[in-house]
Amino acid sequence: RATTGFRYICFKESCRGGLKVDVRCISVSECFVHKSHDLDDHPLFLSTSSSSEDEILCKGCKKTCSWPRLQCTVCEFALCYPCGTIRNELHYKYDKHPLTLCYGETTKEEKSWWCEVCEKRLDPTEWFYTCNECCTTVHLRCVFGSSVFMKPRSVFSQRNGVVRVFRNSSNTRQVCYKCNKLCTDSIYYEGYKWGKTQAFYNNLWTFRLVFRSLRCIEMKNW
Tens-digit pLDDT profile for residues 136-179: 899 998 888 777 788 899 999 888 899 999 999 888 899 999 99
pTM of the model: 0.73
Instruction: Find, among 67, 87, 71, the residue nearest to 79 by Cα.
Output: 71
Integer Cα distance of 177 and 172 in angstroms? 16
pLDDT digits (tens, 9 = 90+) for 120-143: 999 988 999 999 888 889 999 888
Q: What is the DSSP letter of 112?
A: -
User: Which pLDDT band, with edges at 50, 70 and 90, does 118 fall under?
Assistant: confident
Q: What is residue 19's predicted lDDT score, i.e. its pLDDT?
A: 77
Query: What pLDDT shows up at residue 47?
Result: 83
What domains does the chain contain, in order, with CATH numbers?
Answer: 7-84 (3.30.60), 87-144 (3.30.60), 155-218 (no CATH)
Q: Which of 100, 105, 65, 68 is nearest to 86 (CA)?
A: 100
DSSP secondary structure letter of residue 152: T
